[in-house]
């Protein structure tokens, strides 16, 4: 499934600007429909390469500005893939 198909299928889900390459799929939650799933490690990579952040800065930015964002019941889901 490509990004456009994911966006179409997860209509109404929260999309994060500039982070399409971090999308790894969609999840369905009973009563709330589909939600877009993002890879935390890919978000970090994007922030470090695109915005010239250090790893520490990328993690801090993610924690405060991305994870802390609540926009709707169809808020994004973040896959913990950094072990």
What is the predicted pLDDT for the residue at 83? Answer: 64
CB 53 within 8 A of CB 61: yes
Q: Which residues of the chain have pLDDT under 50?
A: none
Q: 3-state class of 26 per DSSP?
A: strand
What is the predicted pLDDT for the residue at 12? Answer: 85
Q: What is the CA radius of gyration of the chain?
A: 13
List the alpha helices (DSSP H) in the chain.
3-9, 40-50, 55-61
């Amino acid at each position: 499934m490509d990004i456009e198909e994911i966006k179409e299928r997860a209509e109404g889900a929260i999309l994060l600007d500039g982070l399409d390459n971090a999308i790894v799929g969609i999840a369905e939650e009973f009563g709330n429909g589909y939600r877009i799933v993002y890879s935390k490690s890919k978000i970090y990579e994007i922030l470090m390469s695109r915005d010239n952040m250090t790893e520490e800065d990328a993690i801090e930015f993610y924690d405060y500005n991305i994870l802390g964002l609540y926009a709707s019941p169809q808020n994004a889901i973040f896959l913990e893939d950094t072990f």
